[in-house]
């Protein structure tokens, strides 16, 4: 009865990678950088160091998840 | 105290190991068992980005500016995330056009322009050459530090030339580049041995840095927190934990600069694009390469802080990495660190030398030589030897010039800042390079204008003032501007002051470069060749892009023998024969019978030549043996338009076809449903009709039938007639509902009164069968709905329930409760219940679940379907489930307002 | 034995009318309300002829017809299919599966009796 629609994920890897790039820009550039740049130690580590290296690691994990995930062709649900 | 001979021996042994690795890499490649055809090696070779400037200089920068060293590595992390748009596309184009260098890439993009290739080469040599010196200088400085510890290091100019280890290292590196960088005449082929050695060096420098980092952090101190906490006690060091107010601009500029430089540095282009063996390696690189950068940077700040706490101002921060282990007597570790630094320097020098020599040979020297007719080069029978010779000489010259530069300028200011100065030079390629693969409208003249404008500003605001500070130009130039004009101060051009020199230069040069590039591109036009190349580059990743038919743009002929002879002259007999035979075999053509080369063969030959002598020269050489030229600009536009129109048209066509197909499927489905419906309705109508006809005929034929039987048969006729009537009414109802022609009368109704009416209407049914109907009706506020339709639903549910329970023992429970602002009504019976698979389908038309063997009266099969349609139209929901006692429970809800 | 008829239909009133008619003529009449009951009844009573409805729960008429024809012991059993679906394709399918005759509902009672008589002879 209902028309069968082929659902495709609207964005492929390039788009998701570009989104990760934008996330990186936000993390590593002012104004968010100004927020992290505080003369405070957290667990003995300066917050700016935690922010930059932590953000860097998170970004790497996201990039890895995007490129090592299923190829675009399989990402289509029936 | 480490002995000099030991260090020299270890260094030489290490360099020999590099030779061995490269030799193995090339050998395996020749056997077809490549060692570099994997993403890990690809990533490690890209780590040539981390030079000795990273290895020693990062700690130096961190000791002075805290986290200010980090943007240099954050930029590449960001830029590889864009690999799909930029690096991945560059790799694809580079491979399909047999691009040999970044100069070749830019020249090819803008109509195979010889001039652009030359300009890019000149900028690259000017900007990068000093960077090579910096690497050699790092080797010399660290070697001296290692040997003379703890004395202050002596200036390099004082070291006698003959005993100079740095010269030895430089000679080794030149030899390495010559040996492993010119094994093929085709510069677009992979230098597998070289890449393998670079990857190995990347491992060594990472291991060395992690070792010293771990030593400082966990041996000299008690981990990261310990170092930071100790440093925090010193306000001078604590200042390094944050970014100072004015440094944000420089931070942003450095992120941008390193993004551009990472994309445009000739050595990065070499390992990323030219040496790429498989496009898929780019995928993993996206996260693995940033991970390498993260690893090599994790200990930078701790080491810098530890160095400052240990040495104060007594040791140059650039040498902390070496000095910290030396001061603790960890001489083996110091030696490892030295090898790490040597690796970083050596890999940079090797790759940069190969990249620069390819550019100098293919984009500067060859085009010039081919133009000098009196040399007769264009007619010379074999040029492959000459080509290799030029490249080898260039390599030796690049390395030795770098060495001479070190000795000449020694410790001057110019060398210290040359790292970022080189970055800024390479960044000048970015508009032409990145714009070229994203914007078809960019023209050769635009690229030329942008490059020249950016380069000039770079020279004026960065390189010349560096020279002035080094004392090669009057120092007033740097301080007061050209001819003392305040406006023209190199570090505060047009009054823009307060920025670091690099940031200042980047702002102005990029503004000029990008501005000229865009403006001139908009004002000038394309030649036919430019238009072709622009679309080949920009549309490279489109599956139906023009790359598949680029020979269409060439109209004309050449003789096969001449074409072949041309290729033989440049790439040698073997390579040329292999390429021609391969081409012919793929098309099933007998090459010996072919005399006139078609455009496809000419294109193949030109691409083959491009790998050896660069795109621009290949174009010139092929044109010299062929009659006819590329088609005119108008025709190019026509072909491209046609192609894009055909593509667009076929895409539209495909979409339309798909839509039609879907519509057709839908129609077929509807048609089948209509057929099924009619067939089922017919069946349902015929069934009571059969009984009616049969009994009528029986009664007609048997006038003498006894009265009781006659009454019985007549009762059947009447019942079946009623069934027929009901069925016809419901079919009409259904048709009305489905076509939307049903009229709905929405008015406020008291739910309880409505349900009580239904109970009254069905009372007779219950009494006939002696079934008990229990009710639990809540007093609810009025709802707006169609009372008649809802009654139809309730009565249908009640009569269904009566139908399915046993006479006498049957019980039906009717419950009305509140649901939100609406109602919920359920009819619960103690009949047989529904088979689980029927819970959903029971609402389908003409589906009857009743078990005929129990002789239940049959419904029309439409009642529940109609109920469902009504309830859903009124905004509610209806469903069936089996109750706890096994009977069926039919429940529906209705909202307070039909559309809420 | 040859004079016995099995009426198979899930509509009680249709069964009732056919039962009345055939008994009136003098045949032995057994009834079944679905496909499975029909096969059981065929095995038990070995009727000479089966009046078989197509649309039934459990096993439909085609299925029963096929099963009967697959059993050599029942080769001489005549089958008249009854159907409320009038399409030619249904008719052809019934005949192809081995039915001897095909009657569309609503049928003429005399017609059905004639057809039974043609196959079984007078009782």
Give B495's DSSP letter.
G
Instruction: Note the pLDDT tens digit of each residue in B113-165.
Output: 889 999 999 999 999 888 888 888 888 888 888 887 766 544 444 454 445 77
The class level of CATH for B4-103+131-413 reads mainly alpha
**pLDDT of B677 higher than 70:** yes
Give B632's DSSP letter.
P
Across B675-832, where does the E strand assignment appear? 747-749, 772-777, 783-785, 811-819, 822-829
Q: Residue B411: what pLDDT?
A: 62
Q: Which among B684, B687, B691 is the nearest to C17, CB-wise?
A: B691
Cβ atoms < 10 Å from Cβ of C70: 10
Please judge whether C34 and B701 are an interchain contact, meaning their C-beta atoms are less than 8 angstroms apart: no
What is the arrangement of strands in the sheet containing B626-627, beginning at the earlier edge strand? B596-597, B557-559, B626-627
List chains touching C (3+ CB pairs under 8 A): B
**pLDDT of A77 higher than 70:** no
Question: What is the pairing mode between strands B783-785 and B747-749?
Answer: antiparallel
C and A make contact (3+ CB pairs below 8 Å): no
Who has greater pLDDT, B62 or B372? B62
Q: Which among C13, C56, C86 is the nearest to B691, CB-wise?
A: C13
Who has greater pLDDT, B629 or B204? B204
Distance from CA of B81 to the nearest CA of A (A): 5
C59 touches chain B (CB under 8 A): no
Query: Mean pLDDT of all residues in chain B?
Result: 84
B255 touches chain A (CB under 8 A): yes
Residues of chain C with C-beta less than 8 angstroms from the C-beta of B676? none
Which structural domain range is residue A38 located in? 19-69
Residues of chain B with C-beta less than 8 angstroms from the C-beta of A46? 228, 241-242
Out of A11-25, B191-205, B719-733, B780-794, give the one with best mean pLDDT. Answer: B191-205
Who has greater pLDDT, B480 or B318? B318
**Residue B855 binned pLDDT confidence (cut-offs 50, 70, 90):** very low
Distance (Å, rounded) from C-alpha B116 to C-alpha B328?
54
A and B make contact (3+ CB pairs below 8 Å): yes
Query: B743-894: same fold as B4-103+131-413?
Result: no
Q: Residue B138: what pLDDT?
A: 85
- Stretch B179-203: mean pLDDT: 86
Angle formed at CA B759 by CA B757 and CA B761, multiple of 5 degrees: 70
Please judge whether C33 and B852 are an interchain contact, meaning their C-beta atoms are less than 8 angstroms apart: yes
Out of A30-39, B7-16, B411-420, give the one with best mean pLDDT. Answer: B7-16
Q: Residue A2: what pLDDT?
A: 40
What CATH fold (topology level) applies to the domain C4-113? Rossmann fold (3.40.50)
Q: Residue B212: what pLDDT?
A: 95
Decide: residue B873, CB within 10 A, 0-12 exposed, 13-18 middle, 19+ buried.
middle
In the numeric block, the tokens 């009834």 are attached to: C31
B673 touches chain A (CB under 8 A): yes
Annotate B152-167 with DSSP letters as a single string: PPPPGGGS-STT-HHH
Please judge whether B695 and C17 are an interchain contact, meaning their C-beta atoms are less than 8 angstroms apart: yes
**pLDDT of B449 higher than 80:** yes
Distance (Å, rounded) from C-alpha B888 to C-alpha B833?
4
Assess contact for B430 and B506: CB atoms under 8 A: no
Q: Which tokens is B229 given?
A: 């906490």
Question: What is the pairing mode between strands C101-104 and C78-83?
Answer: parallel
Q: Which tokens is B679 given?
A: 């067939």
Q: Which tokens is B507 given?
A: 């702002």
Counted across chains A and B, CB pairs separated by less than 8 A come out at 103
CA separation, residue B66 to residues A47, B228, B248, B259, B304 (Å) = 13, 12, 13, 20, 8
List chains touching A (3+ CB pairs under 8 A): B
Please judge whether B248 and A1 are an interchain contact, meaning their C-beta atoms are less than 8 angstroms apart: no
In the numeric block, the tokens 């990065």 are attached to: B268
- For residue B717, what is the nearest residue in chain C, using CA coordinates? C13
Distance from CA of A44 to the nearest CA of B (A): 4
Instruction: Note the pLDDT tens digit of each residue in B857-878.
Output: 455 577 888 898 899 888 899 9
Chain B residues with CB under 8 Å of a chain C CB are 679, 682-684, 686-687, 689-695, 697-698, 701-702, 716, 720, 851-853, 855, 858
Assess contact for B454 and B512: CB atoms under 8 A: yes
Instruction: Note the pLDDT tens digit of each residue in B579-594.
Output: 888 888 888 777 777 7
Percentage with pLDDT > 70 across chain B: 90
H or E, element range at B865? helix B863-873
Instruction: Note the pLDDT tens digit of each residue in B485-533.
Output: 777 777 777 777 777 888 889 999 999 999 999 999 999 988 878 888 8
Distance (Å, rounded) from C-alpha B489 to C-alpha B497?
9
B746: left (phi over 0), alpha (psi -120 to 50) or beta: beta
CATH architecture, range B636-737: Orthogonal Bundle (1.10)
Give A9's DSSP letter.
-
**pLDDT of B547 higher than 60:** no
Q: What is the distance of C-alpha B338 from the center of its chain? A: 37
Out of A41-50, B405-414, B466-475, B640-649, give the one with best mean pLDDT. Answer: A41-50
Comparing CA positions, the residue from B201, B203, B199, B223 lying closest to residue B299 is B223
Distance (Å, rounded) from C-alpha B388 to C-alpha B366?
11
Cα radius of gyration rounded to whole Å, chain A: 18
Q: Where exactly are the structural domains of chain C?
A: 4-113
Cβ atoms < 10 Å from Cβ of B882: 16
**Residue A78 binned pLDDT confidence (cut-offs 50, 70, 90):** very low
B284 touches chain A (CB under 8 A): yes
Q: Which tokens is B93 given?
A: 């184009």
The least confident of B25-29, B739-743, B747-751 is B739-743
**Residue B546 binned pLDDT confidence (cut-offs 50, 70, 90):** very low
Distance (Å, rounded) from C-alpha B335 to C-alpha B303?
17
- CATH code of domain B743-894: 3.30.565.10
Angle formed at CA C95 by CA C92 and CA C101, multiple of 5 degrees: 115
């Amino acid at each position: 009865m209902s028309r069968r629609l082929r659902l495709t994920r609207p964005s492929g890897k390039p788009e998701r990678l570009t989104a990760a790039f934008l996330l990186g820009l936000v993390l590593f550039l002012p104004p968010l950088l100004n927020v992290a740049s505080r003369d405070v130690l957290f667990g003995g580590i300066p917050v700016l160091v935690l922010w930059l290296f932590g953000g860097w690691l998170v970004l790497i994990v996201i990039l890895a998840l995007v490129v090592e995930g299923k190829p675009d062709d399989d990402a289509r649900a029936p | 105290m480490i002995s000099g001979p030991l260090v020299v021996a270890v260094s030489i042994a290490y360099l020999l190991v590099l030779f061995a690795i490269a030799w193995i890499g090339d050998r395996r490649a020749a056997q077809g068992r490549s060692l570099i055809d994997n993403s890990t090696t690809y990533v490690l070779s890209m780590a040539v980005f981390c030079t000795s400037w990273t290895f020693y200089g990062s700690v130096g920068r961190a000791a002075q500016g805290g986290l200010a060293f980090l943007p240099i590595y954050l930029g590449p992390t960001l830029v590889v995330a864009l690999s799909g748009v930029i690096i991945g596309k560059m790799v694809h184009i580079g491979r399909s056009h047999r691009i040999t260098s970044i100069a070749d890439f830019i020249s090819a993009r803008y109509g195979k322009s010889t001039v652009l290739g030359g300009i890019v080469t000149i900028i690259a040599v000017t900007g990068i050459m000093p960077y090579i010196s910096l690497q050699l200088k790092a080797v010399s400085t660290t070697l001296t530090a290692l040997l003379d510890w703890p004395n202050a290091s002596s200036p390099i100019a004082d070291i006698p030339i003959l005993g100079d280890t740095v010269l030895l290292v430089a000679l080794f590196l030149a030899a390495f580049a010559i040996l492993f960088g010119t094994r093929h005449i085709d510069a677009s082929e992979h230098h597998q041995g070289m890449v393998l050695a670079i990857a190995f060096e990347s491992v060594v420098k990472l291991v060395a840095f992690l070792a010293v980092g771990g030593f400082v952090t966990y041996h000299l101190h008690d981990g990261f927190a310990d170092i930071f906490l100790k440093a925090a006690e010193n306000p001078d060091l604590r200042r390094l934990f944050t970014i100072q107010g004015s440094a944000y601009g420089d931070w942003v500029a450095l992120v941008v600069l390193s993004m551009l430089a990472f994309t445009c540095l000739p050595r990065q282009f070499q390992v990323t694009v030219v040496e790429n063996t498989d496009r898929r390696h780019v995928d993993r690189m996206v996260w693995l390469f940033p991970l390498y950068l993260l690893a090599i940077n994790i200990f930078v700040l701790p080491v810098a802080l530890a160095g400052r706490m240990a040495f104060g101002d007594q040791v140059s921060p650039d040498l902390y990495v070496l000095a910290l282990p030396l001061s603790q007597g960890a001489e083996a570790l110091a030696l490892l660190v030295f090898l790490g630094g040597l690796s970083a320097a050596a890999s940079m020098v090797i790759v940069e030398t190969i990249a620069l020599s390819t550019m100098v040979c293919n984009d500067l020297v060859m085009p010039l030589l081919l133009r000098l007719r009196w040399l007769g080069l264009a007619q010379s029978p074999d040029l492959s030897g000459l080509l290799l010779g030029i490249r080898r000489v260039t390599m030796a010259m690049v390395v030795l010039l770098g060495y001479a530069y070190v000795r000449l300028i020694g410790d001057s200011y110019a060398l210290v800042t040359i790292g970022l100065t080189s970055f800024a030079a390479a960044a000048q390629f970015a508009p032409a390079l990145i714009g070229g693969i994203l914007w078809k409208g960019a023209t050769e003249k635009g690229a030329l204008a942008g490059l020249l404008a950016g380069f000039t500003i770079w020279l004026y605001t960065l390189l010349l003032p560096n020279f002035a500070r080094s004392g090669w130009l009057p120092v007033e130039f740097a301080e007061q501007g050209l001819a003392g004009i305040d406006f023209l101060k190199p570090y505060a051009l047009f009054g823009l002051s307060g920025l670091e020199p690099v940031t200042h230069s980047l702002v102005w040069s990029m503004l000029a470069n990008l501005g000229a590039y865009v403006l001139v591109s908009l004002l000038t036009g394309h030649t036919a060749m430019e238009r072709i190349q622009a679309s080949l580059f920009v549309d490279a990743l489109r599956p139906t892009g023009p790359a598949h038919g680029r020979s269409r743009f060439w109209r004309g002929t050449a003789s096969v023998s001449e074409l072949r002879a041309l290729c033989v002259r440049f790439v040698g007999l073997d390579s040329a024969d292999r390429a021609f035979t391969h081409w012919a075999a793929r098309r099933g053509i007998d090459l010996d019978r072919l005399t006139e080369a078609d455009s496809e063969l000419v294109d193949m030959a030109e691409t083959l030549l491009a790998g050896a002598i660069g795109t621009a020269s290949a174009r010139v050489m092929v044109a010299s043996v062929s009659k006819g030229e590329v088609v005119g600009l108008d025709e190019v536009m026509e072909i491209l338009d046609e192609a894009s129109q055909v593509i667009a048209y076929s895409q539209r066509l495909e979409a339309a076809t798909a839509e039609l197909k879907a519509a057709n499927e839908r129609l077929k489905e509807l048609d089948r449903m209509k057929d099924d419906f009619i067939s089922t309705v017919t069946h349902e109508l015929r069934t009571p009709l059969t009984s009616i006809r049969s009994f009528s005929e029986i009664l007609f034929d048997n006038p003498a039938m006894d009265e009781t039987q006659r009454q019985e048969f007549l009762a059947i006729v009447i019942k079946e007639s009623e069934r027929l009537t009901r069925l016809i009414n419901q079919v009409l109802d259904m048709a009305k509902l489905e076509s939307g022609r049903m009229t709905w009368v929405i008015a406020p109704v008291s739910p309880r009164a409505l349900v009580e009416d239904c109970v009254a209407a069905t009372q007779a049914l219950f009494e006939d069968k002696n079934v008990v109907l229990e009710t639990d009706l809540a007093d609810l506020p009025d709802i707006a709905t169609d009372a008649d339709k809802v009654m139809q639903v309730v009565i249908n549910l009640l009569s269904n329930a009566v139908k399915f329970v046993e006479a006498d023992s049957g019980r039906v429970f009717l419950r009305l409760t509140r649901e939100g602002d609406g109602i919920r009504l359920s009819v619960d019976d103690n009949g047989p219940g529904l088979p689980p698979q029927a819970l959903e389908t029971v609402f389908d038309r003409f589906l009857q679940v009743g078990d005929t063997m129990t002789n239940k009266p049959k419904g029309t099969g439409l009642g529940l379907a109609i109920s469902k349609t009504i309830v859903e139209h009124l905004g509610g929901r209806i469903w069936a489930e089996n109750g706890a006692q096994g009977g069926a429970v039919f429940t529906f809800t209705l909202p307070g307002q039909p559309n809420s | 034995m040859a004079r016995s008829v099995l009426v198979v239909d899930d509509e009680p009133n249709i069964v009732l009318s056919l039962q009345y008619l055939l008994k009136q003529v003098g045949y032995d009449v057994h009834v079944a309300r679905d496909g499975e009951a029909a096969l059981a009844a065929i095995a038990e009573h070995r009727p000479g002829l089966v009046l078989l409805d197509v649309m039934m729960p459990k096993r439909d008429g085609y299925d029963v017809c096929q099963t009967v024809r697959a059993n050599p012991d029942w080769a001489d059993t005549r089958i008249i299919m009854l159907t409320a679906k009038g399409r030619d394709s249904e008719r052809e399918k019934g005949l192809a599966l081995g039915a001897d005759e095909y009657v569309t509902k609503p049928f003429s009672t005399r017609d059905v009796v004639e057809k039974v008589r043609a196959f079984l002879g007078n009782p």
